[in-house]
Structure 1
Amino acid sequence: MPSDKAPRSAPEKVEKLYFVASDTAEAQEACTRLVARYGEVSAEEADVIVALGGDGLMLQTLHKFMGAGKPIYGMNRGSVGFLMNEYREDDLLSRVAEADATPIHPLSMDVVDQSGKSSTAQAINEVSLLRQTSQAARLRISIDGRVRLEELICDGIIISTPAGSTAYNLSAHGPILPISSPLLALTPISAFRPRRWRGALLPNHARVDIDILEPEKRPVSASADHREIRDVTRVSVHEDGSVEGLIMFDREHGWDERILTEMFRY
């Protein structure tokens, strides 16, 4: 069965662009030149949104236009640029028209904190739970309503999408996931007990519930990409297949190629 995350072609016509840029001088100068050269319309009228900056800007842009049906084509004017294409000013309309658009679905994070307040946030890369003090966190992990790990003593844990598997998840020695794989990576951060547990691969339809044990003595924060909620007592995470974002890559250096390169990097 083909994955709903398989790359798609760009819109039939790419004539109207809307530009967003990070606050750096390099990105702002690039935006000024490109607008002068290609013109600009509003985001609502645009065929494609062009993001100029680094991976942080791309994540912000994907969050802002999630569910809007607008493909986003990034060009690197930042540092890492894993989510961005190479910056070139020539033939931009042709490049965008020939690029592939990969659909991505965010994680939905539902949180209850120590005051009983409930909050919801979305993550494109990952949901991460982290200890707030010198005390290690104690977590109980359930998958689809069944307790799978009664107690994990650790610095934290990450639930990562394929899109985020090369980010924080990889730094914590989690697996790299092909972008079209129907999987989530569950990766512990500095697990103390059970010491040999290295995490799990889960189907993307799984629901992950994490209960914080001793939340007052061992407080934990939960983050969905850049949004952090502190002093949580319970976190539930699932992929929201009803919401979709579209990220575009040049065909000669698409997301699958980028991930394969990371897999064989040493």
Structure 2
Amino acid sequence: MTENKKRQRWLAAILKIFVFAAVVGFVTFSVQSYQAKKEAEMMAEMRKSEREKTGFQTGDREAVRVYNGKEYRQNTLNTVILCVGVDTSGAVEQQKVSGAGGQADVMALLIQNRATDEVNILTIPRDTMTEIRLFDLNGNYLGTDVQHLNLAYGYGDGEQESCELLTEAVENLLGGVEIDGYVSVNMSAIPVLNDLVGGVTVTIDDPGMEERDPSLPYGETVTLHGNRQRPMCATGHQCFPERHFKNGSPQDLREGVDGASHE
């Protein structure tokens, strides 16, 4: 047998081993990924089942609510969307451990009247104290407790379950106002969203901003593009127009979302 044929046989054998190892590795990775996904889905389903056993005041569009002696019913012409900003960055991945998916730093209700196309935004402070559901690190339901609203997101999986837990807590906070849907993004979305709207124009009213960024001089009006808006949000500036609760209660939303009173 010539040296050339021996070399060809060795190369063929090595190639077969390489292909076999690649196939085994791919199958192993696929099986592990599938098992991890199924475990996360089972955990989410178990948590959902536990939540349904308790009597949280979730959204009910037909319910009549009493405020200051008047009865209110939710305006059926309004679409209510919960917008959530999460304090993580990078790709969003489903988590198995409570708290690993981050917390809700920004919460705002977008309320659109489909008849008039009028849109109002109600921001909800992240540190609002309200009743939320608690889970241990293994996903076991522990009951409810009055804690910061933003923590409700953290007890979920960092994806759909977190959004549902937070939505439920906001509905309960607002006396059962039904929220039609939700959207959540993390901090990596800030430059993308900022550029989609052509940047955000702001007036620098904090002298300390110029120390952080010389291109943000005090008293000047500037348009922020890309990731330049992020320091404004990180230092406590409102990233949404704010509408305050009246008399310490969410009357704005009950009048704005419910829209009609019945004596």
The normalised TM-score by structure 2 is: 0.26
Structure with greater strand share of residues: 1
Structure with greater helix share of residues: 2
